[in-house]
Amino acid sequence: MSKDSRSDLNPFTGKKHYDNINDDEFLNQCYNAYYTEIKKYQILDQTPQGQMVYNVTNNLINTVQDYLRKINRLDYVQDYYDWEVHLVNSEIANACCYPGGKILVYSGILKYMRNEEELAFVLSHEVSHALLDHSRTSASVQKTKNSLFSLSYIIGIILEFLGIRGASQLTQAATGIANMGSQYLLTQPWGRSHELEADKLGLIIAYLSGYNVDVVPEFWKNFSQNMGNEFDFFSSHPADSKRIAVMKESLLEIKNNPDFYSKPLLPETPKAKAEYLTQQ
């Protein structure tokens, strides 16, 4: 389960990701959370819908394995990703992939989907979060943030103990303001970037798996009307209009790309360009 034996260069970005946590402990916590969540619901794996979820997931994972084999980076998933998927009975309209490859699909999301192509994108988007180590990066950022503000608070206490009360109050006030600001200027921007990265890599994985990804922008437009988000400053997810713009641009890049194997698939975080925003 350890990542110590694999290169710290992510094969999909070609970059080293921010990481300062004990990975084995982190994965154990994630696995425990995954199985605890599954126990809350009836498992629907043997139903027709459950079999569809399994088959689509299996197709996507085989594509990922094949891609990594072709670029000689199977070290990235061997002894680290332990793929597993379950469909559970719930009105929740969501799906997620825990670090290490543990996938959970809530049946409520299936009522918004008309075909396997739409399901394939949602699942490949979630798988992409795991492949890009987004959860571990976010956990590392949060750990650093907590350490910095804990240090500031301790400094304030020391100053007060020394009788420098004004400096102590100023330090603690600044810590509180910075902590609030970091939520919007540090932690949440990571989340917004992660969603756009997972959208683009998810499209590529679904495309390489043989699915018609042309349906994705329209699917997301319809899906987001039910639970839309157009104010990305106060959200961990980017505005849906920006996500759709990135999807449309990514589709054009995918169709014009004759070679997916000579360079990283996601060298930069996608950004919504004005010309694609105006098309919606």
For residue 1, is it within any domain?
no
* More confident of the two residues 105 and 187: 105
Tens-digit pLDDT profile for residues 63-91 = 999 999 999 999 999 888 999 999 999 99
> How many CB atoms are closer than 10 A to CB 261?
9
Write down which residue in 115, 132, 149 finishes a domain. 132
> What are the DSSP E strand ranges found in the chain?
84-88, 95-98, 102-106
* CATH number reported for the structural domain that contains residue 51 in this entry: 3.30.2010
pLDDT, average across residues 167-175: 46
Is the domain of 124 the same as that of 149? no
Is the domain of 267 the same as that of 141? yes
Is the domain of 172 the same as that of 158? yes
Tens-digit pLDDT profile for residues 7-32 = 778 999 998 876 767 778 888 888 99
Write down which residue in 104, 132, 160 finishes a domain. 132
What is the span of the domain harbouring residue 72? 23-132
* More confident of the two residues 221 and 189: 221
Tens-digit pLDDT profile for residues 230-274 = 443 344 456 888 899 999 999 999 999 889 999 999 999 888 676
Is the domain of 126 the same as that of 164? no
> How many CB atoms are closer than 10 A to CB 184?
12
For residue 220, is it within any domain?
yes
Cα angle vertex 188, ends 90, 85, to 5°? 30
Average pLDDT, the chain: 80
Is the domain of 120 the same as that of 167? no
pLDDT over threshold 50, residue 148: no
Measured between alpha carbons, how far is 130 from 25 in angstroms, rounded to an integer?
A: 16
- Residue 43: DSSP 8-state: B
For residue 8, is it within any domain?
no
For residue 4, is it within any domain?
no
Confidence of residue 140 (pLDDT cuts 50, 70, 90): low
pLDDT given for residue 177 in this prediction: 43
* More confident of the two residues 42 and 234: 42
pLDDT given for residue 194 in this prediction: 86
pLDDT given for residue 275 in this prediction: 59
pLDDT given for residue 101 in this prediction: 93
Cα dihedral 87/88/93/97 (nearest 10):
-50
* Structural domain count of the chain: 2
Q: Backbone phi, then psi, for 32, in 5-degree steps?
A: -60, -40
User: Using only C-alpha atoms, what is the Rg of the chain?
Assistant: 21
Neighbour-count burial of 4, counting CB atoms closer than 10 A to its CB (0-12 exposed, 13-18 middle, 19+ buried): exposed
Is the domain of 148 the same as that of 127? no
Write down which residue in 109, 132, 155 finishes a domain. 132
